[in-house]
Amino acid sequence: MIWVKAFLGAMVMVVGLSAMSHARDSLQRSWEVFQEVHVAADGRVVDDGNAGISHSESQGYTLLLAAELDSPGVFARVWTWTRNNLLIRDDGLVAWRYDPESQPPITDVNNASDGDLLIAHALSLAAKRWQRQDYREAAEDLALAIRNNLVREVGPYTLLIPGSEGFDQDDGLVVNPSYWIFASLEEMQELDPDPTWQALIDSGRELLRDLIATYPLIPDWVVVQADGSFAPTEDLPWESGYNALRVPLYLAGGGVEEAEVPGAFARSWGDEGTPFPVIQPLDGEAEVEFNDDPAYDALRQLLACARQEQGVGQRSLSPESFYYPATLLLLSNLYRDRGFPEC
């Protein structure tokens, strides 16, 4: 019977390798669709669900995907456009919004710290993958700019300011919990060995735990007050929406286990194939807003794998999906294949 066990073991290995190969092929095809639909010839990444603008987030996501999926030509094109058009601030941070219909096209010179992190992360990965010292130097410069300009201590937390302007308040700081991109913060720690990065990682985990213990879901925006308590913002919607739905994605991408947080999202997102709840009000009054773009199902599938629900199919990207859900699908499938290859 020993030979039978050996044969069965070999078959399981072959099936597993075949499934992993299929997943990689599917991811590569989805990446090709993304490039064709959302990346212009000059390297500008077009947010077709947001009036065709571009922003540091869209450029950062695409640079990160290009580095992860070994696409040096795409990376160079997107980085060149980003460097030439968005790196215009004196402090080394990246202007967040570019509108081709406006003159000048930079309609808001403020930065967005998640875009800064994504770009620095991508540059660091690209430097290692393709032995590019210029990418390494650019990553180091941006990491230092983030650390010097975008970190505050409030109450028990080390916090990441969403942007250099407009988020400080007399009684605390407005933060966006989805800006804690844990894999990017880990990369910054390797790139720039300073204890600030670990403090941000630890504080981000603590912040998410405390928020989910206080509210049914993670808010898009919340005020962290001087005593460490939370409050809704005055000028931004009180909801768990398009921003916050990235929180479980970033936990999975960083290999961070905070079971209560993805569990709450999994319960609220419902079953695969049904319209996806993209805006869930936290005031108990407004109605939930749904989106039927099938790319959002990749988030559900990633959570199902993380929660050890086996046999979950992988969705491929449709050319009909808008930029934002398309990006979430690619990252979800990338993190799923890397962290949960058995699923």
List the catalytic residue out of 47, 57, 116, 239.
57
What tokens does 311 get?
């046999």
Instruction: Quote the DSSP letter at residue 317.
Output: P
Number of C-alpha atoms within 13 angstroms, CB side, residue 65? 28
The backbone torsions φ and ψ at residue 190, rounded to the nearest 5 degrees and listed phi first, read -70, -40
List phi, psi (to 5°) of 31: -65, -40
Quote the CA–CA distance of 342 and 327 in Å, as a whole number. 23
Residue with tokens 């980085």: 79
Residue count of the chain:
343
| 57 is an active site residue | yes
The number of beta carbons lying within 10 Å of the beta carbon of residue 323 is 23
CB atoms within 10 A of CB 34: 24
- Angle, CA 332 vertex, CA 75 and CA 336 arms, to 5°: 110
Q: Where are the alpha helices (DSSP H) in the chain?
A: 2-38, 56-68, 72-85, 113-130, 133-149, 182-191, 195-214, 247-253, 260-269, 297-306, 323-339
Between CA 271 and CA 269 the distance in angstroms is 7
Residue of 181, 301, 191, 282 whose CA lies nearest to 239 = 282
Q: For residue 42, which amino acid is it?
A: D
Q: Which two tokens stand for residue 157?
A: 């937390």
Catalytic one among 114, 186, 293, 337? 114
Please say if 239 is a catalytic residue: no
The answer to whether 301 touches 315, Cβ cutoff 8 Å, is: yes
- Mapped onto helix, strand or coil, the DSSP state of residue 275 is coil
- Name the phi and psi angles at 276, rounded to 5: -90, 130
Cα torsion angle, 36, 37, 40, 43, sign: negative
CA 25, 302, 291, 239 dihedral sign is: negative
* Catalytic residue list: 57, 114
